Amino acid sequence: MNILQTMQNLIRTSFTTPKSIYTGIHSTFAEGHFFSIDGIPLAHMPVNWAPDEPNNVDGNENCTILHPNGTLADVNCGYVHPFICFKKRTDDMAEMNECGTIDREYQYNNVTGSCYKFHIIARNWQRAFKTCSAEGGYLAIVNSPEEAELFKTMHLENLRRTTTQNVNNRISFLGFRFWQELGAWVTIHGQTLKEAGYDHWAGGEPNNVKNADNLYEGEYCGSIDAGCKKVGLNDFWCKYENPFICEKQPVVVESSSQSSSSTSGPTTVSYIDFSVANTIVPRNYDEY
């Protein structure tokens, strides 16, 4: 089965009604010259354009979608479509680890019982949220003082490797923000900070700083300040770019009465299940 048929099969099996999906074929570098993201010209690929495509509507269609019938159309890269991730199988390919991912940067912590990945490349809060979600995790939530200390340690260990536009390089974004309608800080899982298990703010925070040039509104996004002697939460500008931490639940079969027949320890989740789970969320093309 070739890759086109495989993609069509995934479209058939992933949705109740077939949808068009983004492909890695684009003309971002030169208008009208379509290449795959690994540099293969479209002419070398076994795929045809849909009728009347490519039509480059408004001179602004540099991305492509694959229709369920296997034909291609150019579209605006800002549109939201589902997509499939592809990774070639190699001999040294990582096995699915106890964090339920082949990403070795996710490490299990036996104090908190969660898995974490520290992202050294700074992103704004919204992009950080989406990155963690695409990795099958979520922007990390502090559930205990021990976890707050752990995040501080992770930040300080990675301090020299981080990229940030922030003069304060002690900030990591976390999964909570100010919910205007509620007038309260809530986690991305819908709990108040107290309900989540940790509501200690760093000294003088939250202070909702408005910066001088008004480029950024108030500080509505959650972060942790690793620079404080006593670690604590901090409110920060959502559009500013900071390192961030993703959290993920480990994949472990509970050895409880409900699952007496199963053995405890990490389970094996097939790679395809994981990738499909992460492909059916529509996104626009340039978010990654």
Contacting positions for Ca ion (CB under 5 A): 53, 55, 61, 73-74, 141, 143, 205, 207, 219, 234-235
- Closest to Ca ion by CB, 139 vs 141, is 141
Asked if residue 282 lies in contact with residue 82, where contact means CB atoms within 8 angstroms, the answer is: yes
- Closest to Ca ion by CB, 135 vs 219, is 219
- Closest to Ca ion by CB, 11 vs 75, is 75
Least distance CB 207 / Ca ion (angstroms): 5
Which amino acid, residue 108?
Y
DSSP symbol at 190 = S
Q: The dihedral of CA 280, 242, 248, 159: what is its sign?
A: positive
Asked if residue 235 lies in contact with residue 178, where contact means CB atoms within 8 angstroms, the answer is: yes
Least distance CB 165 / Ca ion (angstroms): 16
Tokens of 84: 């499939």
Which residues touch 81 (CB under 8 Å, ≥6 apart)?
19, 20, 21, 22, 65, 75, 282, 283, 284, 285
Least distance CB 8 / Ca ion (angstroms): 20
Which residues touch 278 (CB under 8 Å, ≥6 apart)?
85, 134, 135, 136
- Closest to Ca ion by CB, 62 vs 162, is 62
- Closest to Ca ion by CB, 36 vs 166, is 166
Least distance CB 183 / Ca ion (angstroms): 17
Least distance CB 113 / Ca ion (angstroms): 9
Asked if residue 7 lies in contact with residue 84, where contact means CB atoms within 8 angstroms, the answer is: yes
Tokens of 4: 């086109």
- Closest to Ca ion by CB, 9 vs 211, is 211
Least distance CB 19 / Ca ion (angstroms): 16
